[in-house]
């Protein structure tokens, strides 16, 4: 039952938008992306100044190697977050898929058959997430923490402490592992980065120019209204989790080929990077807001920053701090404005007498 | 499904007496100093002025009714009293001293207990704990005295004449029982002002009578009771004074015996009733909707009815009777457990809103803000939300297409807006409702189900909405209308179906339907039958 | 008007439902018993004193973390930084012992203070800046882990650097029960009792059960949620000191992955992930169950590699089961008797 006023009561969860005639959502988005462009310029500047190798031709390639496969996972996670859910199991699925390939390869399978199985595993894992979240209505944070653990655990069961290829194994086909050593002929783009960019275009078109994209935004902003408009909320969420599983599995294959080896713990902890990239790209954790352009800019920023820091020998630990801080910034800044306003209002109420 | 009612032995005469007996003890009220004085409170939310002049004076020991249509500003006023909203202007005095509330706890501390229209309980906690949350009785070492708390809850329930287990979780309580817990919560606060916002909406007559007795007791203790209800007979039965609001403003205050029902309605509405509902007569055409044996566990059962093209069928009944549930099951957003739904002869698959939409069914839901609109999206995107596939060309959909659709329908429905891309939350309630209508009319439906079409809308737009419905029906649309406002039902409907506790209790033609017949069927009271 | 009939008694529906809800703790005990039984059949050494003590000690830290995590989750939040806080605290304590030779009691104090600091930061960002706790604590997980790595800088604290009376806490027993287990049990008992008995703690449940109603009821949500994070951080810090006492060495990898185990333990133990219900006793039992399974795999000579997979499957099963249970309970409560009327 609705009240006869236009604003909902306060709640402990932060509201999705100010109810006082705020500017249309796209204005704040443009502000965020504009900010990202500035940050990107700053990072590139920082990198070229601080690191002698930053402007080398090969830097772009290594950036692609390091960030491309992670960025590929960020795309479906963006969609998942847009609908108000989250998928923390992506890095573990990466590991499970790579481990599956390693395991099958170890047992003599052909590489392409192993790839096929790994992608199926990705779909099945994604479907598990989908069934539990969309089908049974379980909270996605808890479910994907569970599948995060489960997938990694299964990877561990498969490979144990082995490193594939191990003694007696064939080496991975050099034509494929080449993607880890050589860029696309005629450019400095790594294969993984190319694939990411193509996917980004597809995802961008879907999000901003299709009925499916509109539906996802509606689901994220107001799932009930979406349902009442005939949008198949559960089917879409299920599909997005399956997509996430498949693309994570694909990322696992890429990572494995780039490294030309695999252990069960490959990709451990990458879910943080994925979430950081997505949120830093301006996608709201509450759902319904965000652009693919923002995510691409975020990939560029995070990737170049990591590249620059690695080149000047900043330790992995310090880089963790940086990634964590980026994540915090990406959520504090949009809320910070609101928070400051609230504090200012509270102070104002205490001091200024009310008009009679 | 709802609370059990004991054997009733009121006679027909007693029932009539209850309905029309004037309140006793009206005098000596205005002699004491007022408990609460609210003066010219205003409140805006962005461009929406919800309250322009909220003024009310409550004396100790009186039951004071606050009347007004939806959109009159009553809920905003109540929320200001409860400390949920801070007024933009105006003053509040309690016991002669000016007060300012920074939050709901201030209001509680100041002795104001509010029973809101919608129960807000903690489902995981016990009923007793819901009543006493934040004020649980404590024993040694500030430890909660659970036994004492349960006992106190028990006592309050006894006062109310109900026996609800204080130890049970609040989860699963029927709407009526939740309302009882909310009333118990207010009683437990030993407040000097108790505000009841539509407390009887979900209660049966026995429970309502019991509540009146409680109100009488409170009055004897010097408590001021602010009673908000749409049911004028209840107001006449228990209140001494009446304040009427319209369009966010205070209109008048008067002792109840000085007012007739017509006076009140005229003050509430601002013009005569007849002018509001220009329903033109139509000849019903083919059967568009056939519902047969529809049932949903826990909500309703054995519902069968038809709706023809060119007619408005109203679904009346009390809050919680199951009407919205029926609408949702027909539309397919909820699954049905039994029965069938046929549109233009074809059966609809179970639980598939898309299929219903394809068959030409549209549903304007009850809760505009959660179910009808995506508040942060633009007007254009909201209008287009049910037509996404149709607007796509080769899989692609552009904002321009959405904008064009919205432009057509907002002009046709005369929606007042700034820019089409402004979020709908910038619109007034009435214009928001028109956007929802536009969204569905854009699909050219055969059957339009509207749930509370004019709730929370100003009077002017209300008339427009009725006119729109009237035109549509004259053009061959079939309309199923759910409404809790009897004047609206009586004015607009060709036929009235009445639901009570999930069952269809009456089907009345336009001639047969009046306030009495509908309310009797809705509450299950048939004085003629009781000996 | 007749008096209300049964005063102290309860309607059948209410009683039965409460029994079902309370059964979770019992259910876990039964599960623990079951696992112990089938493992003992395969390997009778499983129930020897040594083995049992290891089970208790191993679970103790997670149970302690679980207490804080329970409070946070009850308010519909989550704290994913507890593992990193534990690791940082353990190293800081070790560092102070090795390079500054601080007294033993001060070691516990310093560890706890590290946790307090983390709790304050988390609490402030969540309540003042209104940032979702999932993201905040996820970010803090990595920031703290990074800080830990930077401070540690390849160093390692060895048993030699730690005073004996400190490590004694880690291995000494009393009447066969490890001190660690006793300490943690005491904490669980105190917090568990407090959660039932004080207004402020009941408000935690209210906040998680229906945040909007909590605001309407005037509950100081920010203050309460802050306290929950503060307690969670504090206990994680204290657990860090205990970690050092138990393992007697520390580098930069202390507590890695602990947050996931704790969340699993807590949910398995009956704390609803959406808040509003659950007990610290259940959480502690959940931690015990996970550790028992852990040890059972080793004792039963099943590959320890199955550990993680089983934990993951258990969490999923627990969430699904909880949801199924709550639907059943809601349905039974809906048809249970509501208000009766006497005349």
Pair B396, A209: CB distance under 8 Å: yes
Pair A184, A195: CB distance under 8 Å: no
Position A83 scores a pLDDT of: 97
Cβ atoms within 10 Å, residue A292: 24
* CB–CB contact C143 A320 (8 Å): yes
Q: What is the 3-state secondary structure (H, E, C) of A63-107?
A: HHHHHHHHHHHHHHHHHHHHCCCCCCCHHHHHHHHHHHHHHHHHC
In the A/B pair of chains, how many CB contacts fall below 8 A? 143
Are B193 and B283 in the same domain?
Answer: no
- In DSSP notation, C98-152 reads HHH---HHHHHHHHHHHHHHHHHHHHHHHHTS---HHHHHHHHHHHHHHHHHHHH
Alpha helices in B274-322 (DSSP H): none
Are B377 and B414 in the same domain?
Answer: yes
Specify the number of domains making up chain B: 2
Instruction: Report all structural domains of chain A as residue ranges with CATH numbers, in order of start.
Output: 25-334 (1.10.3470)
**CB contact, 8 Å: A218 with chain B?**
yes
- A153 CB neighbours in chain C (<8 A) are 305-313
* CB–CB contact A225 B439 (8 Å): no
Nearest to B396 among A19, A210, A232 (CB): A210
Residue A291 pLDDT exceeds 80: yes
Region A318-338 average pLDDT: 85
Are B376 and B409 in the same domain?
Answer: yes
Nearest to B367 among A1, A232, A349 (CB): A1
Q: Tell how far CA A304 is from the center of its chain.
A: 17
Q: Which helix (H) or strand (E) holds B449?
A: strand B447-451
- Is residue B127 in a domain? no
Q: The CATH number of the domain where B16 resides is what?
A: 3.40.50.300
Domain termination site, one of B239, B270, B301: B270
* CB–CB contact C311 A137 (8 Å): no
* CB–CB contact C340 B163 (8 Å): yes
The answer for A 248-287 residues in CB contact with C (under 8 A) is 272, 275-276, 279, 285-286
* CB–CB contact A12 C76 (8 Å): yes
Which residues, including other chains, have CB under 8 Å from residue B140's CB and lie 6 or more apart?
Answer: none
Give CA separation, B131 vs B55, B431, C3, C16, C122, in Å. 30, 39, 22, 22, 32
Nearest to A339 among C130, C212, C274 (CB): C130
- The single-letter DSSP state of residue B270 is S
Domain termination site, one of B250, B270, B290: B270
Pair C115, C89: CB distance under 8 Å: yes
Question: Domain-by-domain residue ranges, chain C?
Answer: 60-256
Nearest to C129 among A141, A147, A335 (CB): A335
Q: Which residue of C has its CA nearest to A158?
A: C305
Encoded tokens for A294 = 């923002």
pTM of the model: 0.86
Nearest CA to C228 among C199, C194, C204?
Answer: C204
pLDDT tens digit sequence for A209-223? 999 999 999 999 999
Mean pLDDT of chain A: 86
Cβ atoms within 10 Å, residue A135: 12
Q: What is the span of the domain harbouring residue B113? A: 12-121+173-270
CA C269 to chain B, closest CA, distance in angstroms equals 17
Are B283 and B254 in the same domain?
Answer: no
**CB contact, 8 Å: C220 with chain A?**
no
Pair A328, C128: CB distance under 8 Å: no
pLDDT tens digit sequence for C20-79? 656 788 888 888 999 999 888 888 888 888 888 888 998 999 999 999 999 999 999 999
Are B378 and B449 in the same domain?
Answer: yes
Pair B38, B81: CB distance under 8 Å: yes
ipTM, 2 decimals? 0.87
Encoded tokens for A353 = 């007498």
pLDDT tens digit sequence for A14-73? 233 333 333 344 566 678 899 899 999 999 999 999 888 888 888 888 899 999 999 999
The better pLDDT of the pair A55, A98 is held by A98
Are B325 and B460 in the same domain?
Answer: yes
* CB–CB contact C10 B174 (8 Å): no
Are B182 and B292 in the same domain?
Answer: no
Q: Tell how far CA A103 is from the center of its chain.
A: 27
* CB–CB contact A225 B73 (8 Å): no
Nearest CA to B169 among C74, A190, C76, C18?
Answer: C18
- Is residue B156 in a domain? no
- Is residue B212 in a domain? yes
CA C42 to chain B, closest CA, distance in angstroms equals 42
In the sheet where B312-317 sits, what is the strand order? Answer: B361-364, B447-451, B478-482, B312-317, B495-500, B503-509
- Is residue B356 in a domain? yes
Are B424 and B496 in the same domain?
Answer: yes
* CB–CB contact B1 C11 (8 Å): no
Nearest to A21 among B47, B377, B456 (CB): B47
Q: Which helix (H) or strand (E) holds A157?
A: helix A140-159
**CB contact, 8 Å: C134 with chain A?**
yes
Are B238 and B370 in the same domain?
Answer: no
Domain termination site, one of B232, B248, B270: B270
> In a structure prediction context, what are the per-residue pLDDT tens digits for chain B, which is 531 residues long?
222 222 222 333 333 334 434 444 444 445 678 889 999 999 987 767 888 888 999 999 999 999 887 667 888 899 999 999 999 999 999 988 999 998 898 998 899 999 988 889 999 999 999 999 988 998 888 889 999 999 999 999 988 878 889 999 998 888 778 888 998 999 999 899 999 988 887 777 777 888 898 899 889 888 999 999 877 778 888 999 999 988 788 889 999 888 887 778 778 766 555 555 667 788 888 999 999 999 998 889 999 999 999 999 999 987 778 899 999 999 999 999 999 999 998 999 999 999 999 999 999 999 898 999 999 999 999 999 999 999 999 889 999 999 999 999 999 999 988 899 899 988 888 899 999 999 999 999 999 999 999 887 777 788 889 999 999 999 999 999 999 887 888 889 999 999 988 899 999 998 888 877 887 787 766 544 333
């Amino acid at each position: 039952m609705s009240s006869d006023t236009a604003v909902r009561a306060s709640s402990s969860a932060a509201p999705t938008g100010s109810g006082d005639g705020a500017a249309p959502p796209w204005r704040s988005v443009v502000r965020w992306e504009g900010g990202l462009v500035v940050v990107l310029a700053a990072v590139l500047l920082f990198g070229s100044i601080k690191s002698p190798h930053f402007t080398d031709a090969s830097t772009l390639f290594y950036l692609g190697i390091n960030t491309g496969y992670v960025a590929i996972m960020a795309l479906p996670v963006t969609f998942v977050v847009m609908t108000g859910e989250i998928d923390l199991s992506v890095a573990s699925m990466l590991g499970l898929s790579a481990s599956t390939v390693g395991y099958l390869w170890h047992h003599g399978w052909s590489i392409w058959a192993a790839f096929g199985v790994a992608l199926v595993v990705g779909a099945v894992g994604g479907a598990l997430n989908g069934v539990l979240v969309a089908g049974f209505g379980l909270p996605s944070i808890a479910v994907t923490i569970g599948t995060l653990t489960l997938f990694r655990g299964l990877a561990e069961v498969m490979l144990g402490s082995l490193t594939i290829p191990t003694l007696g194994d064939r080496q991975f086909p050099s034509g494929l592992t080449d993607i880890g050593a050589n860029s696309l002929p005629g450019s400095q783009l790594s294969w993984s980065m190319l694939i990411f960019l193509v996917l980004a275009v597809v995802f961008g078109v879907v999000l901003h120019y299709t009925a499916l994209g509109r539906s996802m935004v509606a689901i994220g902003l107001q799932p009930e209204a979406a349902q009442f408009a005939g949008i198949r909320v559960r089917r879409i969420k299920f599909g997005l989790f399956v997509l996430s599983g498949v693309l994570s599995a694909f990322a696992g294959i890429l990572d494995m080929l780039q490294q030309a080896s695999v252990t069960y713990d490959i990709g451990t902890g990458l879910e943080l990077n994925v979430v950081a990239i997505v949120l830093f790209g301006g996608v709201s954790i509450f759902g319904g807001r965000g652009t693919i352009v923002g995510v691409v800019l975020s990939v560029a920023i995070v990737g170049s920053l990591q590249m620059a820091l690695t080149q000047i020998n900043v330790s992995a630990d310090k880089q963790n701090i940086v990634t964590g801080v980026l994540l915090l910034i990406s959520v504090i800044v949009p809320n910070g404005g609101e928070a400051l306003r609230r504090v200012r209002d509270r102070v104002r109420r205490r001091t200024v007498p009310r008009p009679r | 499904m709802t609370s059990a009612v004991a054997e009733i032995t009121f006679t027909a005469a007693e029932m009539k007496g209850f309905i029309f007996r004037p309140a006793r003890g009206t005098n000596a009220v205005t002699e004491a100093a007022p408990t609460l004085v609210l003066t010219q409170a205003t409140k805006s939310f962005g461009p929406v002025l919800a309250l322009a002049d909220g003024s009310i004076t409550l004396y100790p020991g009186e039951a004071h009714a606050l009347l007004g249509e939806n959109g009159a500003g009553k809920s905003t006023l109540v929320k200001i009293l409860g400390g949920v909203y801070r007024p933009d202007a105006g003053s509040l005095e309690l016991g002669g001293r000016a007060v300012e509330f920074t939050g709901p706890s201030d209001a509680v501390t100041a002795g104001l207990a509010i029973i809101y229209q919608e129960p807000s309980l903690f489902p995981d906690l016990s009923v007793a704990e819901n009543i006493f949350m934040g004020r649980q009785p404590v024993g040694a070492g500030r430890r909660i005295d659970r036994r004492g708390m349960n006992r106190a809850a028990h006592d309050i329930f006894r006062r109310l004449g109900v026996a609800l287990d204080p130890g049970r979780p609040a989860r699963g309580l029927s709407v009526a029982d939740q309302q009882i817990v909310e009333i118990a919560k207010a009683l437990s606060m030993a407040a000097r002002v108790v505000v009841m916002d539509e407390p009887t909406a979900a209660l049966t007559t026995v429970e309502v009578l019991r509540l009146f007795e409680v109100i009488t007791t409170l009055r004897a203790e010097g408590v001021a009771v602010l009673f908000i209800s749409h049911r004028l007979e209840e107001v006449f039965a228990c209140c001494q004074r009446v304040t009427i609001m319209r369009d966010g403003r205070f209109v008048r205050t008067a002792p109840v015996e000085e007012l007739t029902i017509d006076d009140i309605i005229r003050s509430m509405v601002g013009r005569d009733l007849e002018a509001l509902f220009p329903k033109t007569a139509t000849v019903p055409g083919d059967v568009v909707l056939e519902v047969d044996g529809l049932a949903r566990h826990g909500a309703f059962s054995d519902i069968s009815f038809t709706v023809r093209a060119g007619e408005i069928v109203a679904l009346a009944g009390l809050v919680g009777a199951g009407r919205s549930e029926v609408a949702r099951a027909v539309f397919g957003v909820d699954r049905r457990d039994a029965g069938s739904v046929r549109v233009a002869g074809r059966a609809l698959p179970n639980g598939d809103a898309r299929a219903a939409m394809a068959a030409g069914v549209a549903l304007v839901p009850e809760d505009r803000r959660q179910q009808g609109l995506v508040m942060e999206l633009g007007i254009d995107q909201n209008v287009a939300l049910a037509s996404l596939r149709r607007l796509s060309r080769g899989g692609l959909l552009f904002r321009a297409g959405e904008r064009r659709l919205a432009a057509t329908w907002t002009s046709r429905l005369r929606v007042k807006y700034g820019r089409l891309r402004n979020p709908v939350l910038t619109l007034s309630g009435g214009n928001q409702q028109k956007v929802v209508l536009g969204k569905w009319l854009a699909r050219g439906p055969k059957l339009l189900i509207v749930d509370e079409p004019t709730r929370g809308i100003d009077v002017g737009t209300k008339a427009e909405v009725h006119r729109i419905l009237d035109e549509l029906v004259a053009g061959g649309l079939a309309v199923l209308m759910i409404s809790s406002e009897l004047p609206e039902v009586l004015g607009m409907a060709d036929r009235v179906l009445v639901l009570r506790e999930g069952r269809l209790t009456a089907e009345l033609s336009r001639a047969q339907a009046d306030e009495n017949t509908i309310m009797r069927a809705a509450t299950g009271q048939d004085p003629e039958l009781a000996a | 008007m007749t008096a209300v009939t049964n005063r102290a008694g309860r309607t059948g529906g209410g009683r039965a439902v409460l029994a079902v809800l309370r059964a979770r703790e019992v259910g876990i005990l039964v599960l623990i018993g079951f696992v112990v039984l089938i493992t003992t059949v395969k390997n009778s050494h499983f129930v020897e004193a040594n083995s049992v003590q290891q089970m208790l000690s191993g679970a103790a830290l997670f149970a302690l973390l679980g207490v804080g995590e329970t409070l946070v989750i009850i308010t519909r939040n989550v704290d994913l930084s507890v593992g990193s806080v534990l690791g940082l605290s353990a190293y800081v304590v070790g560092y102070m012992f090795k390079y500054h030779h601080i007294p033993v009691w001060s070691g516990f104090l310093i560890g706890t203070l590290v946790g307090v600091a983390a709790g304050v930061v988390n609490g402030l960002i969540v309540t003042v800046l209104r940032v979702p706790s999932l993201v905040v604590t996820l970010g803090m997980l990595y920031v703290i882990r990074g800080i830990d790595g930077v401070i540690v800088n390849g160093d390692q604290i060895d048993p030699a650097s730690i005073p004996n009376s400190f490590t004694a806490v880690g291995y000494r027993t009393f009447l066969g029960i490890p001190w660690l287990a006793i300490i943690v049990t005491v904490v669980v008992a105190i917090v568990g009792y407090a959660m039932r008995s004080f207004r402020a703690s009941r408000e935690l449940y209210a906040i998680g059960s229906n945040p909007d109603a909590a605001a309407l009821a005037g509950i100081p949500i920010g203050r309460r949620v802050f306290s929950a994070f503060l307690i969670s951080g504090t206990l994680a810090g204290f657990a860090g000191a205990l970690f050092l006492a138990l393992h007697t060495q520390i580098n930069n990898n202390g507590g890695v992955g602990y947050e996931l185990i704790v969340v699993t333990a807590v949910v398995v133990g009956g704390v609803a992930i959406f808040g509003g219900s659950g007990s610290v006793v259940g959480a502690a039992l959940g931690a015990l169950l996970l550790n028992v399974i852990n040890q059972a795999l080793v004792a039963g000579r099943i590959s320890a590699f199955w550990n993680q997979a089983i934990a993951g499957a258990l969490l999923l099963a627990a969430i699904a089961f909880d949801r199924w249970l709550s639907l059943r309970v809601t349905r039974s409560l809906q048809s249970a008797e509501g208000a009766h009327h006497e005349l």
